[in-house]
Chain A
């Protein structure tokens, strides 16, 4: 049974603060991890992908992966009101010729207040 768990929130932070979003997964052979952002009524938009243990930074976003602990996180620095959305964690079992499906968490709703 492959499960992806996220705190549903809502998570509320002031503008300029760091928002920390967490995700745990149950399948130890998972190799690909993704963070998507979804605004209300819109489609998921890819923010970050991460495949190796450690940190990966892209602008104000940092993804962190710890395979031993089976968790992946997303940090948003200098949060802006425009970051207010639902953040979806997605996990893919492993790369290569296997099935391509993603397993999604239910998402964490983030609100950044001015």
Chain B
């Protein structure tokens, strides 16, 4: 049973370019969360999505960042016009539907973004 998958694992971008991060949840999971971890800091929530719906984006910067979880395919976190401060590890987590199951979140391996 495959876990949460993320790609790419490492991404290098120059300032001003776009970064696109992908996340496929665990089989049977319909909730996806994105977190960001800056060097020497804890995990910070960014956005919570279900299929075709953004449930909570209160942790997303207002500009340049967007996320989607289409009916088909992986969830995508998009960062436009990247700046050096965007360099971080971006983790995706997934959890099963809440009804009748646990609310535990399982993390993918992360995408480490480096902005030159």
A interface residues (Cβ-Cβ under 8 A, vs B): 32, 34, 36, 42-46, 49, 88, 90, 92, 95-97, 99-107
Contact = CB atoms under 8 A, between A and B. Distances in A.
Contacts, number: 61
Nearest to A94: B103
Contacts of B33: 100-102
A interface, over-half SS? loop
Contacts of B22: none
B59 A44 contact: no
Contact of A97 (B44, B95, B98, B104): B98
Interface of B: 31, 33, 35, 41-45, 48, 55-56, 58-59, 91, 95, 98, 102-110
Given A95-B98, A106-B41, A106-B42, A100 B106 contact: no
A67 B98 CA distance: 23
Nearest to B3: A43
Contacts of A43: 91, 107-110
A95 B35 CA distance: 19
A49 B104 contact: yes
Contacts of A46: 104-107
A92 B103 contact: yes
A101 B98 contact: no
Contact of A100 (B43, B56, B107): B56
A102 B45 contact: yes
